Structure 1
Amino acid sequence: MQDYTNYTIKDFILDDSFCRWVLRNASEDAVFWEKWTQEHPQHAEVVADACDLIKKVRDAQDNLSENELREELKRLTKSRKEMDASQVAVKTTPKLSLAWLWKVAAILVISIAGFVFYLSKYSSFPFGNYYSAYQQRVESKKDLFQEVLNDDKTPKVVSLPDGSKIILKMGSRVSFPKVFSEKRRDVYLSGEAFFDVVKDPTKPFVVYANELATKVLGTSFTISSYEKDKEVKVIVKTGRVSVFSLNKEQEPAEQLLTEEAELILTPNQQVVFNRNENRLKRSLVAIPEPIKPISTVHKSLIFDRTPISQVFDSLEEIYGISITYDNELLLKCQLTAELEKGKLFEMLDLICKAIEARYELIDGQVVVYGKRCN
């Protein structure tokens, strides 16, 4: 973990996480920095000065056009180079005033702060971060799109033109057309949101979230795609979704979304894209939830000398999760138990113990290994 205890003002304004906290108060950054400042009160003055400088640069730049901002950055870059040359002269001209040196250093600090802010505001700049993928995709469509940003502390409900609903988490934003096209419903996400999509077989619903595109016809699912996280996640609650891996700025051609998806997800499954390893991995969620009404679940989990195949069938129906086993080997296995108060993995532990078996979670499925019952 980064050691911030020796940070100077310049170090703080060069830190992406610190700048996001100051400029956008992103939730994931706010939690860390608020805790860090509380634990290191001796650095309060340096932190306050860095925050103040970043905000002043932002306020000054808000009044500039993009072209003016570029020209200002060029001027500041030139000043920085002049400062570098002046520093060489200092070695041979010791009579230069300390006040003059401070002014030159201030130019350098402000130019760095301005450049960092420029990257956060104009993310199409070549050195942008994960947030730029979202920005680049919506930039050319902004006249036809509407954007919703949730800067509140509570989730925000967003209604889409087709009646679908989005629950947008704090610090997240979503863009979508004012009117969906005849062929597709495209939505662009930066951050985290839960989607409850109205079913329409004639218009696939596609969410672009940095390195992943998620295509559905009608279902409910969550996507987490924060710019600083190491992973991008898609978690399915109901229905089926197709997940495609993208380059950050790529928007798939029409044919890609009609071909076989890299991964198909069903209820209680998730796919995780690891940014460091550049790969997708499918798995079950940590705590699977029933997809059937709770009122009908309890009755389905009371067994009296019930064949194990029926037990597994009941669990599959309740949770929408595939359970694979050797039916011939476990043909005579039976279960007598009341499982209505348990969670899925707890119930599987009990079942396997009763029939002297074991299970593994493989690629979003449950695989049971056992021996023949007498």
Structure 2
Amino acid sequence: MTLKEVDENKVVVDEVCKEVFRVLNALKHPDVSEQVNDSKEFVFERVNDKIKTDSILTSQMNERRVNIRFLVAAGIALLLLMSVSAAYHLGYKSGQELRANLYAETVTPLGVTTKITLPDGTVVTLNGGSKLTYPTLFAGKERCVSLSGEGFFEVAKDAEHPFLVNADNLSVKVLGTKFGFKSYKEDNQTIVTLKEGLVKAMPSNKEAVNGIVLRPNQQLVLDNRTGEFQCRNVNTAEYLSWKEGVLYFRDTTLDEIVKILERKFNVKILIASESLKNDRYFAHFGYNENLEQILTLLSHKRFWKYEKKNGTIEIRKKY
């Protein structure tokens, strides 16, 4: 085969590839260009190898050049369509798998709340100092996310794909519901509060083999130190009011209150007197009350005072 004939064959390949590319480009697939170029080089090499090794075809080249070029073009078109079609479908499938394996992370700073919408339409409100990790595409049998901190979940209904929230010591599985999940690493308790629907809570210690089913206005409290848990009926509005900036304290220790105030106001509070940490309080504060007002009301008729030192608020006994 002469160099001229090789060049002519390459021209045929290029012309056919351009036409095939024009059609495939209409699919708007991002990998079409690369796939066509790769297939073009592969097919061109295969065609030339076949022509070089076929003595009958070589001896009749001059007489049947038009027919051969037509057959070459047809073969190229067919191979390109087959290879790019396969690459397209495989690329689309692998693209979905890649997105399902990619994770996004939303971190809410102290002092603010954040509302996000997940790929399935689920809406999550995160409290200050919280982190939610979730896939950019829910592609498996379950819609799994991970929570560190506190969030309120309004789960999009999907009977075939349960929604699963994983935390350090507890997982919650639902189909479509509204519930609060509190799981800060520094807290002694993990708490699930159900507003609507049904949820199944599964402690990581597996004491409850089949999980614990909660119904509206029920709450599960898990002791992170001992693994013990209890279910109780509650007024969910009080436990989920943090979304509106409202605070309810019901038989809450000062130590727990301080953690909540730190997250809400982005401030460091130190209880300098250890014996004060277990003092308990019943109180309710609206969204418009600031930190100083809250501390003043909490310390009223109590044996402690607070003061600011080097950017930290210290709570200590009165002497």
Which TM-score tier does this pair reach, normalised by the shorter chain? 0.3 to 0.5
In our comparison, the structure showing a higher alpha carbon Rg is: 2
- Answer 1 or 2: which has greater strand percent: 2
In the superposition, the TM-score normalised over structure 2's length comes to 0.41
In the superposition, the TM-score normalised over structure 1's length comes to 0.35
